[in-house]
Structures are given as C-alpha cells and as structure tokens.
Structure 1
Amino acid sequence: MRILQWLFGGGRNVLKETVEVFRENAEAGAVRDADYSQAALAQYAAEFHARSNRTRFDSLADGLNRLVRPAVTLCVLLPIPITMIWPGHMAIAIASLALLPVGYWAIVGTVTSFYYGGRMQLKAQEFHTSLAATVANAPRIIETIDSLREFTSDSPGAADPGTDTELSEAATETSENPAVRAWQERGNE
C-alpha cells in the first residue's frame, strides 16, 4: 500500500511525471497551441487596428508602393502597341534614350534588380520545391509510362500473330462452341 501511495499519493503522480519526460502531455500541448493561436490572432487584429488609424500620407505611400510593379510592367509592354501605331514617334523616343549616360542605366538596372530580386528568389525557391515534388513522383510516372508502352503498336511483339502454321492450326481446331463447330463443318463440305 505504501508503494502505491508513494507512486500516486501526496498530490503527486510519479508515474505520470516520469511518462511526461518521454511523451508530451496532450492536454498541456493543446493549451500551448491554443495560447499560440490566440496570440497570433491578437497580433493580426492589432495590425489591422493600426491600419484603421493611418493618416492620408500612410495610405498614399502604401498605394504608391503597390503601383511600382504594374507601372514597370506597363512601361516594358506599352512600347509594343505604340510602335505598331506610331512607328515614327517610337523611333524618336528610342533614339532619345540613347542620349542618356551609361551611369543612369547602371542605376536603373541596380534599382530594378534589387526591387525584383527578392520576388525572383521567392519564385525560384517555389520552383525548386515543385521540382523536388516532381522528381519524387518520377519513378511512379516512369513505371506508368513503361506499362503503357506495352500497348502501343510499335512495341515489339504487340501485334505479332505468330506463324501461318499456328494460325491454320488454330482455325482447324475443334471448338466446344456449337455455333463454331457448325461453321467449321460447313467450311469442310
């Protein structure tokens, strides 16, 4: 009785405490997860609450930040229809760009690469992730392709009827089917 009282008595559970060294207490883990979710939601709500107290300048700056990518995209693609509609004006505009110093183009290239570089890196990482998933599926896909190749007409032996001797023997065999047997007997008459 003293052993059981020592294990489970006195407001302590030695067995439970020992098990929790090796395995997480599910109830305590759920409480931690709930606290984490509540803290994340509170932070998210605080972020949106802060947005509602923004000034007009904050809204203007935010709007201008969102216009950069569409503006650059339009500046790259817009010369195509302009050249088709007003080729003379576009030739003058392009010739005038040649008057800009090389240092200006270096600054434009640097700003553009820094601005788009982060996005490109993110897309490259997403591409590598999808590539890894594709490579992981490759053995299954190759197995499927190999099994389907057996049914193509250019596969060796796919439509091999055998020798003429085998065909004539198969044609002269007696059959258990009464209709086939009657047809074979009519052919022999």
Structure 2
Amino acid sequence: MPDTYTLQVAGVTRELPICKINEHLSIAAFIMFSDVELTVACAQALLEKCPEFDVIVTAEAKGIPLAYEMSRQSGKLYIPARKGTKLYMSEPVVVEDQSITTAAKQTLVIDKKDLDAMNGKRILIVDDVISSGGSLHALEALVSRSTGKVVARAAVLAEGDAAERDDIVFLEKLPLFEH
C-alpha cells in the first residue's frame, strides 16, 4: 500500500498520509488546519454547490476552519457544536456521536442561545469529511432542538460508501483502503 494518496479538490492538489485505523482499514488523513489555500478554495467551491441557507453548523475541531471560511465568504452566521460543556453555556444541550476517526463516543454541545439563533432559519450542516455519518446525525439531533430546518449537509470529501449517498453535497470522493 502506498504511503500517501494524491487528492485533487477545488483546484488544489495535496498528498494525504495514509493512516491505519485498524488491522483491516486505513484512511487518507485530510487535514485543513493551517492550510489556508485549501480551506479558501474548498469553501468557495462548496458555497457554489449549496442551496440558500441562513446559518452554518459544524462540529468542533476539523470542520471549524471550513465553516468559518464559508461564513466569511457568505456573510452568514456559523455555530460550532463544542466537544464538551463550557462554563459560558447557561443552558447546554448535549448529544453523543460516534466517528470513524475517534475510538470513544464524542459529546457535542450547543448552548440554548445558539439554538435560539437557529429558530426559523435554513441550516447548512458542514464538515470536512463525511464517512459514517455519525457526526452529521449528532449535528442534526442538535438542530432538531430548534425550529430551524436543515436544508443541506455539505463536506469537502465523502469517504467510502458516503460517496454513494444522495442526501449530501460534497466536492470529491475519498477512498477507504482495505487490507
């Protein structure tokens, strides 16, 4: 198996390291942190493919640079679901999810004031990569606590079987590496 996977997305080429998840599966690690060129290009390309929306929601960590840049380019609000309850949250709303890249269950938290900001709005759920859909499911569970309506789920990459889904917007497919 090669050490890297060549990805071309939004007019940008990157060599992604291939990382072993378990004895049967490896993934190409897609990391947007610190890659401003990639983040700006992917945000622009995704915005061109997404329907009209009012608010972007993402999970804390790898989706934040993309959601921020999509927010900056569109002028729309973005809300990150945090990985844990924070002291500033007066009324935290909590859900759990399981991700392919995280061994344990993850907790996602949004303060009620952020849910209130989603009320009656068109919500765009954004992540860097959609694989099993666990993070999407958790974000949708959080959004459902508001009166906002999810109008699309978007990611730069759809990994493995996610590329066959017709309910997500994505820029490129990312293969899984079975061994």
Calculate the TM-score normalised by the size of structure 2: 0.19
Q: Which has the higher contact order (CA 8 A, sep 6+)?
A: 2
User: Which of the two has greater strand per residue?
Assistant: 2
